[in-house]
Amino acid sequence: MSLDDPAPAPFAEADLPWSHPLAGGLSRLGRRIKLGDRKHPWVLDTALIVLVAVMFCVPDLVDDDDGRRRGFDNSFIHLPWPATIALQAGLILPLLWRRRRPTLAFAVIAAVFFVQLGLGAWLRADVALLISLYSLALHGQLRRLPIACAVTACALGLFAVRLPSQVPFLDALFVLFSTITAAVALGLVVRIRRAQLAVLRDRAARLEIERDQRSKLAAAAERTRVAREMHDIIGHNLSVIITLADGGAYATDLAPERGKQALLLIGDTGRQALGELRRMLGVLRVQTGTPDALELSPQPGIADLDALCARIRAAGPQVVYRTGGDPAALDRGVQLTVYRIVQEALTNALKHAGHDTRVDLTVNVEDARVRIDCHDTGPGTATAGPAPSHDEGHGLAGMRERAALYHGTVTAGPAPGGGWTVRATLDPTPLTGTTGTTGTIEGAV
């Protein structure tokens, strides 16, 4: 084809055979018939028998003038009408079982056909043999189909032998065997098509179930994430506020200026907690306009650990914070995870070890891993540690869930020299395909 040749016309959907109005009408009719057949399965088989009787049985009951079958000379005899009706009934009535017992229906019809040939008769109702063969190919066991084809070929071969000499034997055999091929081919095509549709329906149903399951899992994961954020924000800030309130109430009588300082710190902590909650809940709403700056402010990171330690120090504990490596170069999602783990560890130290404890906090980045070490000296006894509590269980579970996002681990327990130790190890380079997702989810809130 040269460059000057016109481009082929685009393939129009209207050219497809199933887009024709007649095809659409037949498809709708087929669906209605199938729906009615499911409700009344015997109606369709009965209608088929009535149709075959009207088209093929009634003409056989009309006698010709000479009592012979027109067109076949003396090759076939004309049976009395009682015998004709009996043979016709034996040929078409088994079609009632053609879908439920296709092998039995074919066997009965074939036996009647051989009896008819033995009597030297020919009936138009013999078409029931091909219908039963089609039904066997469609509904029956395929391992029995070759035997049925052989029986049908034998029966039609005997019929071809009885044809008058004017009809060439090979031509008659070709036509009759073509009808066998057509019946079997049509049955197999419909059977394969139904199997394909069944597979497609099953696949669509499974995909719908999987889609619903993915939606439920995503919703559950989102609820878990929101609950974890709420726990970290509210739990930490409330612990600081409670400790400051207790200290302020105690210091009111002894040092009123310290009580006033505690109240100011409580206000600052409450405002910070409110801001974090508003920022987190803001992304859960459908934004209808330009969000304000508060909702667009970033999530806390490692750079905010100094302010976090300062708030804990204001509540009483001595916090010594050290860093190693280059924590600021970490991904925002990793920094948020580090911040939340440290926040939970310091909150537990404040809650369980009290305001007289000393906390040594280390965040170290080396060998492509992040290590967090948080150790408190306890409430003053060598063996004391934070008593197990419901909140601690949720906090430790939250830390482990966050660490698992970066293939890390969290261990917590009493230290040998007293107090409590929390250690966490994170891998800041998760598997391909999860880093961006995790960072986006954690950083969007």
Read out DSSP for 133-169? HHHHHHHS-GGGHHHHHHHHHHHHHHHHHTS-TTS-H
pLDDT attached to residue 68: 47
In whole angstroms, give the CA distance from residue 93 to residue 107: 13
Residue ranges of the chain with pLDDT lower than 50? 1-3, 11, 64-68, 70-71, 73, 286-296, 381-392, 431-445
pLDDT attached to residue 435: 39
Angle subtended by helix axes 41-52 and 127-139, to nearest 10? 150
In whole angstroms, give the CA distance from residue 436 to residue 163: 81
In whole angstroms, give the CA distance from residue 397 to residue 345: 12
Return the residue matching tokens 């049976």: 79
Closest CA to 278 of 265, 263, 264, 291: 291
The angle at the Cα of 279, spanning 425 to 266, to the nearest 5 degrees, equals 85
Under 8 Å between Cβ of 302 and 335: yes
Domain ranges, ordered by start, for the chain: 27-167, 211-285+295-444
CA distances to 48, 54, 146, 335 from 364, rounded to whole Å, are 83, 93, 77, 12
In whole angstroms, give the CA distance from residue 337 to residue 426: 9
Neighbours of 201 (CB within 10 A): 10
In whole angstroms, give the CA distance from residue 340 to residue 31: 59
- End-to-end CA distance of the chain, in Å? 58
User: What three-state secondary structure class fits 414?
Assistant: strand
Stated pTM of the model: 0.50
pLDDT attached to residue 120: 85
Mark out the alpha helices in 386-429 (DSSP H runs).
390-404
pLDDT attached to residue 361: 93
Task: Spell 304-328 as b/e; 16+ CB within 10 A means b.
Answer: bbeebbebbebbbbebebeeeeebe
pLDDT attached to residue 195: 92
In whole angstroms, give the CA distance from residue 152 to residue 150: 5
Q: Classify domain 211-285+295-444 by CATH number.
A: 3.30.565.10
Under 8 Å between Cβ of 137 and 145: yes
| Beta strand pairing call for 369-376 and 318-324 | unpaired
